[in-house]
A and B are shown apart, each in its own frame.
Chain A
Amino acid sequence: MSEPNLPDDAARMRGFFDRFLQAVPHLGALGIRYSDQGKDWAELSLPYAPQLVAYPETGVIASGAIFSLMDTAAGFAVLVALGRFLPHATLDLRCDYLRPATPGETVFGRAECYKLTRRVAFVRGLAHDGDPAHPVAHIAGAFMLTEG
């Protein structure tokens, strides 16, 4: 079965991704939204929300929520780099937590698919909460292209 090509017009692409994200239950639960994209990268946002908190005494959100943001952004970056939908699965992902995200601030996660082979897509990325020069997390990982 052939997969549909992604729309190439930027505005249509944005609407397409917005709808795609809204249809994914766990992304809705975390509040992950579409933000931006380029040729081989994608950026998503994670607005601050009380249900994401892991440290009630400080209001700092869970590192696991940032991991989810970055895993999702990396998966999107792979699709963007491919230019079409192919089934893919995270093979492994490492996340360095550089500092706690500031309570109340939206976290932005931008991931890049920097190398694409027939079977494997390599990704890297950064998360920040307002200033890209002061990231909160760094990721590196690989996705398997499971068909095609």
Chain B
Amino acid sequence: MAPLPPYATLLGIRLGAPGVLTMGYAAHLIGSPGRLHGGAVAGLMELAANLAVRDALNDETASLKPVNVTVDYLREGAPEDSHARAVIMRLGRRVANVRVDAWQADESRLIAAARLNILIARG
């Protein structure tokens, strides 16, 4: 597992259950009063996608570049811990197509869902 970068530390990201990244609630994640900033949730989902691809590649020399991300916001993010799980739809030679779900207390009630394309530059 690669170490988490400074931006992940800023968000308070840690490894949760297997395959799950958790963003521990902190006051500096708040956007409008009583709600997480959508950008913080997007950041969590991007990191989950990156980590999933990095793990699946098992290639230390490959570098990953985000091509794009689309985030659907489904519910307000409450001031509590958030979780994200990435599913790799396809791992190609050059591109990984990834889906990410984000939730809080109840995994069946998603707060956001994202799709990402990640460019893989193999060393």
Contacts and interface: CB of A to CB of B under 8 A. Distances in A.
Interface of A: 24-30, 50-56, 61-65, 67-69, 71-72, 89-97, 100
B28 interface: yes
Interface string B73-107: 10010000000000000000000000000000000
Given A63-B69, A92-B71, A51 B43 contact: no
A96 B65 contact: no
Given A90-B71, A94-B68, 5 more contacts: A61-B7, A62-B8, A72-B31, A93-B70, A97-B68
Contacts of A96: 67-68
Given A28-B28, A97-B65, A97-B67, A64 B43 contact: yes
A65 B7 contact: yes
Interface residues of B, number: 33
Nearest to B76: A89
Contacts of B15: none
Interface of B: 5-11, 27-32, 36-40, 42-44, 46-47, 65-73, 76
Contacts of A71: 37-39, 42
Nearest to A70: B39
Contact of B7 (A25, A53, A69, A94): A53
In this complex, which of A24, A50, A55, A90 has the most chain B Cβ atoms within 10 angstroms of its Cβ? A90
B30 A64 contact: no
Contact of A56 (B6, B29, B31, B42): B6
What 4 A-B pairs have minimum CB-CB distances, sorted nearest first?
A68-B39, A64-B43, A62-B7, A26-B37
Contacts of B8: 54, 62
